[in-house]
Amino acid sequence: MTILSFNTKVHFGHGERSQLVNEMRLNCITRPLFVTDKGVRSTGVFELATGSLGAIPGAAIYDLTPPNPTEDAVEACAATFHDNHCDGIIGIGGGASLDLAKATAVLCGQAAPLWEYCNRHPNPRPIHQPPPLLLMPTTAGTGTEVGRSAVIIFRNGIKAGIGCPSIVRAAICDPELTRSLPPYMTAASGMDALSHCVETFCSPVVNPPVDAIAIDGMRRIFGNIERATQDGDDLDGRWNMMMGALEGGICFQKGLGAVHSVSHALGALGHHHGTLNAIMLPHVLRLNAPHISDKMTVMSTALRFPADADLPLSFARLNQRLGLPEGLRDLGIDTAIFQEVAKAALEDNAHKTNPFALTEQDYIALLHEAW
């Protein structure tokens, strides 16, 4: 551990969406590009998020965000920014829209092939003068509003991050924007957030403040995910879920693990990230358990289980209660691709901070176990 850094200014709480007009003024945004998706617009969440603004002549909207943001979508979004002479970007939506907004800001700062900014590039290009960027999550899941990267599927088939830890000028986290989120997406995005807290806590990187944040996020999510899934109008449950998701995003600086190295590899094929994390979490945690016995005890105690509880089983049963798929077979994933997925997982940055180094055969066995 050499640097402790929590970069992003965050407005957090019910009704904090009203801060958008002030943040636009502070960041001199007069012709914003709104990055969102059609679902957020059709449900009225976009209108709710922007209700404090009134009419903005010259504002543009890009609402074609794919479920997993792609390099093509980033380029199309950047073209919309330039065609409309915008001077700032406001991302409103789930993790896909926010990651797309972040990557677009990177590309609008200095036009270059997007791959040259990727963490996986041998010599990533520095980000140069991106436009002001504000983010408003409408799910409690990815935590990308405070995360250090934008995760994109590149044309070469790799799903990976663009390191941009200081690109967001402000995040506005209003739990009321998650009230209309359907039960399945509440559950899947919530398990995504839970996996962030668990994997970062289990990472061998030394960072005690982040460990404490991860444990707090774990408690909040585990204690509220069923409430929020069953009753979208449970505002206390929604508040705690959004806080837990934000805490998971703060913890990314410790690195993740095999849950994410697998889900990134499978996500490049189009599968939903949160659902993949929910499926993989119990299996990866069981595989890692012998290497993190002290941390397993801390997590079990924090979640009010006996110190020697079978935590992987508890997470698997939580998935069942939430109505999430039990295995990769439920997503139609063919076992024939497991060797290819294992090779991709070995190249993923999350693989580097798993509690122990998995081999290709370990990954293949893990995938079969999760199938």
Note the pLDDT tens digit of each residue in 119-143: 999 999 999 999 999 999 999 999 9
> Whole-angstrom Cα distance, residue 286 to residue 291?
10
Task: Say whether pLDDT at 5 is over 60.
Answer: yes
| Tokens 């890692």, located at residue | 288
62 φ, ψ (degrees, to nearest 5): -110, 115
| 208 backbone φψ class: left, alpha, beta (φ>0; ψ -120 to 50) | alpha
Task: Calculate mean pLDDT across residues 155-166.
Answer: 91
Q: What is the pLDDT of residue 169?
A: 96
Closest C-alpha among 214, 16, 230 to residue 134: 16
Q: What is the pLDDT of residue 111?
A: 80
| Tokens 């995360």, located at residue | 147
Q: How large a percentage of the chain has pLDDT more than 70?
A: 99
Query: Is-contact 315 190, C-beta < 8 A?
Result: no
Task: Say whether pLDDT at 175 is over 70.
Answer: yes
> Whole-angstrom Cα distance, residue 165 to residue 178?
25
- Report the DSSP beta bridge partners of residue 133: 89
Encode pLDDT of 109-124 as tens digits.
888 899 999 999 999 9
Contacts 24+ apart (CB under 8 A), 39-42: 40/92, 40/93, 40/94, 40/97, 40/138
Q: What is the pLDDT of residue 1?
A: 46
CB atoms within 10 A of CB 306: 9
Query: Is-contact 322 187, C-beta < 8 A?
Result: yes
Q: Which residues contact 83 (CB under 8 A, 6 or more apart)?
A: 60
E-state strands within 75-178: 88-93, 133-137, 149-153, 159-163, 170-173
Query: Domains in the chain, start-ordered, CATH in brackets?
Result: 10-177 (3.40.50.1970), 182-370 (1.20.1090.10)
Q: Which residues of 21-41 are buried (b: 16+ CB within 10 A; e: fewer)?
A: eebbeebebeebbbbbbebbb
> Whole-angstrom Cα distance, residue 8 to residue 21?
18
- Side-chain-side CA neighbours of 171 within 13 Å: the count stands at 34
173 φ, ψ (degrees, to nearest 5): -110, 100
CB atoms within 10 A of CB 44: 11
> Whole-angstrom Cα distance, residue 211 to residue 215?
6
SS3 readout for 344-363: HHHHCHHHHHCCCCCCHHHH
Q: What is the pLDDT of residue 344?
A: 95
Q: What's the pLDDT band for 4 if we cut at 50, 70, 90? A: low
> Whole-angstrom Cα distance, residue 196 to residue 245?
8
Closest C-alpha among 254, 242, 248, 258 to residue 208: 254
Task: Calculate mean pLDDT across residues 315-339.
Answer: 96
Encode pLDDT of 253-288 as tens digits.
899 999 999 999 999 888 899 999 999 999 999 999
Q: What is the pLDDT of residue 54?
A: 78
> Whole-angstrom Cα distance, residue 25 to residue 23?
5
Task: Calculate mean pLDDT across residues 322-333.
Answer: 95
Query: Is-contact 189 152, C-beta < 8 A?
Result: no
Task: Calculate mean pLDDT across residues 302-323.
Answer: 96
Encode pLDDT of 330-361 as tens digits.
999 999 999 999 999 999 999 999 999 999 99
Taken in order 143, 146, 147, 151, the sign of the CA dihedral is positive
Q: Which residues contact 2 (CB under 8 A, 6 or more apart)?
A: none
E-state strands within the chain: 10-12, 32-35, 60-62, 88-93, 133-137, 149-153, 159-163, 170-173
Full strand arrangement of the beta sheet holding 88-93: 10-12, 170-173, 133-137, 88-93, 32-35, 60-62
